[in-house]
Every structure is written in structure tokens, then in C-alpha cells.
Structure 1
Amino acid sequence: MKGIVMAGGSGTRLYPVTQGINKQMIPIYDKPMIYYPLSVLMLSGIREILIITTIEDIRNYKKLLGNGERFGVSITYKVQKAPHGLGEAFIIGEEFIGSDSVALILGDNIFYGSFFSDTLKKCISLSRGARIFGYFVKDPKDFGVVEFNEEGEVISLEEKPLHPRSNYAVPGLYFYDNTVIEKAKRLKPSGRGELEITDINRLYLEEGSLSCINMGRGMAWLDTGTFDGLVDATNFVKAIQDRQGIMIACLEEIAFNKGWISREEVLKTSKPLLKTNYGGYLMDLVKLKEKR
């Protein structure tokens, strides 16, 4: 399975900040926002990743992430010329996806919870159909909404409905088989002029191959598309890291624990960063491994 991060968009809800910087480059506590969705794909075991962004922002992403080698992954880049919707990701990424299945994650979504890694590992084994998630929220009007029957089966999907049929929002993480490319090409722009990801999910629902995993209370999902969301996410990450002493979305740590990069590669990255908590954490990571 391959992975795509959607990191474009205009970020209008974060003006004037996003008039000078791409939204996914804004820090969430001690890391750029883009680190968090990348960590989800890496925890899934995905090593081939495409970042879709704007022509203005590719240079900065390449400067920040390079080709992904230091994280033990391969990162490539494509341009979305205008915000034509999430469904366009599979058309832009058709050559990258090839004959594989694919995971799509939004660049401004943060996930954290126990056993989440185990859930992700099950998702990458998907060979047919689509797998999405449901997350209970107080006010789902700003999200895609999924409705279940009494047996827990998906019966409807709506995009930002005025009168939601349930309180279950669909977070920005999706797993698809290879037919998603053909389905994306069949889409027509919505009233917003976008190729909607909800319409792709409906096509899978209509053919009976859509499944939805309900994220329980032990799972945190944070959407950082607003200033309040940025503050909430920063406070959440800081609280977890301060209390547990374990970093969220440390890409080198994930790669090191999976055996994708060596001790020497971690040390090489950490040395220029020793004046920061991040560099010190990487150094301690190697020391801890050596003691075991």
C-alpha cells in the first residue's frame, strides 16, 4: 500500500498566517503539522509517500523533508493547481499509485490513541473495497457524516450537512483499493466545485464494499484547520509529551523502531539539534536502545 498526504489548499480559515506559509508547515507544539499525518502513514508500515501541495510550497516541503531518506521512507511531490477537492488526489497520484492500494490522509489531521497502530496495520492489508473511520463529535456540521443502522453497518454518507443524521464525523484518513482511481475519474464537481471524497465513499457504499471503524473514547482526533484547533492540538501534544516523556510524531523514532534507519543515521540527525528537546530526545532514544 502507498500513502498520500493532501497538504495543499488555501488555508483561508487561518488568514493572515497562511498568506505567508502553507498551513501544514505551521508548528503544532514542537513539530511542523505535516509530521503528524506522516507519522500515521509510517506507523501503518507505509514507506512510499506522495505529498500533494501547491506549486508555491513544494520547495519548502523538499527543504523540510527531502526525499524522506532520513526517515527510512521515499517521499515524492505533486502539485494540485487549485483546490479542486480531495477526490482529485487519486487522479493527480495515478502514476504514483500504480496498481497498488492507497491510503489518503489530510495534512491537518492529528490522531493519537492506544492500539491505534494495531488498527492501522490491519487497514493496510485491505485488498478490496474502502475503509473509513467514524468519530463521535458534538457538532458534525463541518465534516463528512456517516450514519449507521442498528447492526453498525453504514447506511448513509453526507458532506457537511445542515441537519446531520448522526453525530459521527468521518476523520481525514481513508484506505482504498486500486479502483479508487477509476471512481475518482467518474466524479462530477459538487456545488462547491470540488471532487468530494464523500462521493467516492458513496460509490464504495453502493457496491457494498465500504466498511467503517468506529473510533472509541480512547482515541483522540484533532482537526487543526482553525486557530482554536491549533491551540487545542498544541496543548494536547504538550500535555502528553510532558507527562509521558514520549514524543508524538517523532518520525526518526518510528523509523528507528521499525528498523528502517540505523543507529548511526539517528545520531547524524540528532547532532545538529542537540540544543533542542527534539535532538536530545533522539540521542536518548539511541542510548535507551543500547541498554536493552
Structure 2
Amino acid sequence: MKAVILCAGKGTRLYPVTLTMPKPLVPVANKPLLRYAIDTLTNMGATEIGLVVDSLDSPIRERLGDGLQTVGVPLTYIAQTNPKGLAHAVKLCQPFVGDEPFIVYLGDNVFQDRMDVLYRQFEETGASAALALTEVPNPSAFGIAELENGQIVRLVEKPKDPPTNLAVAGVYVFKPDIFDAIDHIKPSWRNELEITDAIQYLLDQGKGVIPYVVNGWWIDAGKPDAIMLANQLILEQLPFTPVDLQDPRIKGDSHVSHRVIIGEDSEIIDSVIRGPVIIGDNVTISNAYIGPYTAIGNNVIIEHSEIEHSIVMSFCTIKNIAGRIDASLIADNATVIHEPKKPNTHRFVLAENSLVQLS
């Protein structure tokens, strides 16, 4: 079975981080967002995955290659150089998927649900499409599905009077007749071909569209706060791991709690680590406090500083921060230095190669 991941967006809601890093490569719990999508799709049975990217020179292709060595499944890259909406992106995948049913996954979504039931239900019913739906407290902010007798009968975009609280969550299964539906729709007021319009066309033609209500949480990880929440929820699922008092990586007067993962060749020196925390390889943490829900990438140095509920990507340096860093997203190669002064709290969203010096 084939699947496609739509990841050609510019990620403007995550600027400045995504000015130099595609959003699907932003790490959550030290794993790129895109890997969660790939893991979910392979769990659903996908054996080949197409990635819709903004260019065949995308850093995503540079990072993952043909997929066989990096993610364990063959990857094909499909360029959407002139984006015209989700339906346009799906249409570009027609030569890749051919005449078989396929899955579409929006690349910035993270789910607790493994989704394996979704495809099975689609096959059993013979429907033309299946949509992942999730209950939301504010349905007027989403595309909402209206149901009758267990089938979707209408999709309504951000309704003032929502018929349900079931939002379209960004995972779809389609038969190839979705391509004919896309050919029959017109651009929306945004001058884009909307996938909801194509699905509505299927409905109008009497085609079956079935719902799948997602179990557990769903995060549209498009903004820094959502990335932080996804990081927290994934770290929360770390299993209990007792502290190894003989671990040579833990040195001096250090206190490390359970649910702390420490990478190879890393050192914890005279520091406090309170899980859930994940620490990459070649990391040095000295005279520091690392609080819950923090993910630290590879080759990071943290000295005389406190940080929690944050993501620190690779090759970063954080030194002498007097106040606690909280709820921050710090991209590759960033340097944060504090000259001693009155303690305070800092929040950063930094792009690659940034330097912040506080005095």
C-alpha cells in the first residue's frame, strides 16, 4: 500500500525557526515531526511513501534520502513548486499512487492513536474515502464533519453553528476517484484547490465517505506552543526507567530522576535532571538544572543554567543563564549566554546560528 505525506508548506507559523529548517524536520522528543508521520503510516500498512516537498532539492530529501537506510521504507519525492492547496498536492501524487487506494497524511500532525483501525475500516466498507476526525472544544475554528447513520454527509469549514464537534484531523484514505473529484472543483476564495471541496464532490456524487474518530490526543504542530505541547505529551509516554547509580555518565553531585534517557558519550556533572527528559549524544550538562518535558539534541553544552519544558536542538550552547528558560524552542547552532545580573525568566524562539547575549 502507498501513502503520501504533504510537507511542502513553508511553515510560516514557526518563523524564524523554519526560515532555515523545513517544519517536518523540527524535532519533537528528539525525533523529527516527519518521523512520527512515517511511523504511523507504516503501522497502518504503508510499504511505499511519497513525500510532497517544495523542491526536489529540499533538505528533507537530503536528510532522508531514499528512505531505505534512514526510515526503513522506500521514499519517493514529489515537487509542489507552486502550491495551490491540499487538493492540488494530492493531484500531483496521481502518477505515484496509480490505481490503488492510498493514504494522505498532513506532515505537521502528531497523534497518540496508531491509526491501524482506520485503513481496515475503509477496506471493510468499500467507501471512496475515510477521514480521521477528532473531538474539539472549539469546532467553529475547524473544518467540521456532519454525520448521519455512521457516514459523513457534509463538510463545513469553520461553521458559526457547528453540527458536531468532530474536526477533520489531517489523515485521509482515498480511492483513485478522488482525482476525478479534484478535476471537478474550482479554486476557493484563497485561490486554492481545497481537499474538503473534493471530498464534498464525492459526497454529492453519492460516494461513501466514512469517519474514524481518533483515540487520544491530536496536535497540529504548526506553532511553537503546539510543538511544546507535542513534546510534552510524547515525553509523558516514556516508560518508568529506574536510575542507574553506577552510570558513568552521571558524575559529581548529580541527581537524576526516573524517565530520563541519556545518549551516548554524554555527561551529567553536578546537575539535577528531573524527567521526563531526553538527552542526545555528546551532550555536556554541568552545574545545571534540566526540568521536566525537556528534549535536548546532540552535541549540546548547558552550563550554570536552568531550563524546562523546552526543545533544544543540536549543537547549541547555553551558559550562565540566571533565570530559568521555559517553554522555549531553540534551533540548531544557537548560542545563549547570560552575563550575571538580576534573575529572571526568559522565553526564546530562535533560528539556526542565532546568538543571544543577555547582560
Q: Same fold (TM over 0.5)?
A: yes
The equivalent residue for 2:144 is 145
Q: Which has the higher strand share?
A: 2
Does residue 219 of structure 2 align to residue 238 of structure 1? no
> For the structure 1 residues 112 and 124, does the alpha-carbon distance in structure 2 shift closer, same or farther, using more than 3 Å as the test?
farther
Name the residue aligned to 1:76. Answer: 76
Q: How is 1:192-203 mapped onto 2 (pairs within 5 angstroms)?
A: 192-203=190-201
Q: Residue 157 of structure 2 is aligned with which of 156, 159, 166? A: 159
CA drift at 1:122? 4.1
AA in 1 matched with 2:207: S
Residue in 1 that maps onto 2:211: 213
Gap regions ≥5 residues in structure 1 = 246-272, 281-292
Q: Which has the higher helix share?
A: 1
Shift of 1:76: 0.8
Distance in 2, matches of 1:140 and 1:58, equals: 38
Match of 1:65?
64
Q: Which has the higher contact order (CA 8 A, sep 6+)?
A: 1
Cα pair 1:134 1:212 within 8 Å, conserved: no
Does residue 132 (structure 1) correspond to residue 131 (structure 2)? The answer is yes
Contact 2:4 2:49 in 1 (8 A): yes
Matching of residues 28-177 of structure 1 within 5 Å: 28-55=28-55, 58-70=57-69, 71-113=71-113, 116-123=115-122, 128-149=127-148, 151-177=149-175
User: Alpha-carbon deviation of 1:275?
Assistant: 4.8
How many percent identity over aligned positions?
A: 30
Structure 1 CA distance for aligned equivalents of residues 12 and 58 of structure 2: 21
Bigger mean CA deviation after superposition, 157-166 or 184-193? 157-166
CA contact (8 A) 1:9 1:82 kept: no
Cα pair distance change 1:156/1:231, threshold 3 Å: same
Look at both structures and tell me which one has the larger radius of gyration over its CA atoms. 2
TM-score, with length taken from structure 2: 0.63
CA RMSD of the aligned region, Å?
Answer: 2.6
Tell me the distance in 2 between the aligned counterparts of 1:210 and 1:161.
23
Structure 2 Cα separation of the partners of residues 87 and 52 of structure 1:
12
3-state SS of 1:52 partner: strand
- The TM-score, its normalising length taken from structure 1, stands at 0.76
Q: Please list every run of 5 or more consecutive structure 2 residues that lacks an aligned counterpart in the other structure.
A: 243-262, 267-277, 282-359
Shift of 1:104: 0.4
Give the secondary structure class of the aligned counterpart of 2:75: strand
The CA distance in 2 between the partners of 1:278 and 1:188, in whole Å, is 49
Confirm or deny: 8 A CA contact 2:143 2:167 kept in the other structure: yes
From 214, 223, 227, the equivalent of 2:224 is 227
Q: Distance in 2 between matches of 1:162 and 1:244?
A: 48
1:158-184 deviation digits (Å, cap 9, x = unpaired)? 123344332110110000001112211
Q: CA deviation at 1:143?
A: 2.4
The separation in 1 between residues aligned to 2:159 and 2:12, in whole angstroms, is: 21
Aligned residue pairs total 249
